[in-house]
Amino acid sequence: MSASSFEHKVVLITGGASGIGKECARQFQAQGARVAIADIDARQGSIVVDEMGADAGFWTLDVTSESAWREVLSAVCARWGRLDVLVNGAGIVIQGSIEDTTLEDFRRVHAVNVEGVFLGCKAAIPLLRKNGGAIVNISSTAGLRGVAKLAAYNSAKGAVRLLTKSVALHCAEAGYNIRCNSLHPSYIDTPMVQKMVAESANPERMLSVMKRVSPMNRMGSVQEVAGVVVFLASDAASFINGAEIPIDGGATAR
């Protein structure tokens, strides 16, 4: 892809204040896009936008609020007049087995990780229809296979996988020229994963286990994940639709 692959296009990234979302914002901007960063962390989001300059903007967004989605998309269109790409990257993880997980925690994980994606797709499609576009939903390898101590997260990320396929089929059958794909990272070196390690009973052991999940014996980087996100949103991926793309160093190949 050239440095102008997304010239004049507008990309909205939720969870864009840190981790994978932040790197996605940087890579889309490097390809010529105007980038709208949405996140619940206003302080960190403002820092990222200040670093990126005039072709980026930040909006505070609680992805579980339908009215907040409408407000943010209205503001993005007021500034730039269009929307071409939505990256649903906001997410949380609460560890726990089916016995340990409370109903409150289960509902919270689903509200952010599933309802947030549902609301984002629903709100963005009318705007994406105008020029055609792409949606990339960040799921997880936990949406492809089970983990005993991630009951809520497994359930939520599995839901994102099949919601993505439903959105892709709907848009294709309606003739909207909107593609929708899900990306399934394994352990990636992000603040969320670093927090999981720090909060574990044995951080050194936890880090070693995370690395061994991949046959490549390491975690992935945000740069590696963001590169695939940008590709899936680009014209180079124009015939990829409703797909689930693992980015896990071969972990799900076992």
Exposed/middle/buried for residue 198 (C-beta within 10 Å: 0-12, 13-18, 19+): exposed
**Residue type present at position 33:** A
**How many other CB atoms sit within 10 Å of the CB of residue 254?**
9
Q: CB within 8 A of 198, min separation 6: which ones?
A: none
Strands in the chain per DSSP E: 10-14, 34-39, 56-60, 85-88, 133-138, 178-185, 244-247
Distance CA 67, CA 82 (A): 19
Distance CA 15, CA 44 (A): 11
58, 69, 118, 153: which is the annotated catalytic residue?
A: 153
Asked about 153 being catalytic, the answer comes back as yes
Instruction: Provide the annotated active-site residues.
Output: 153
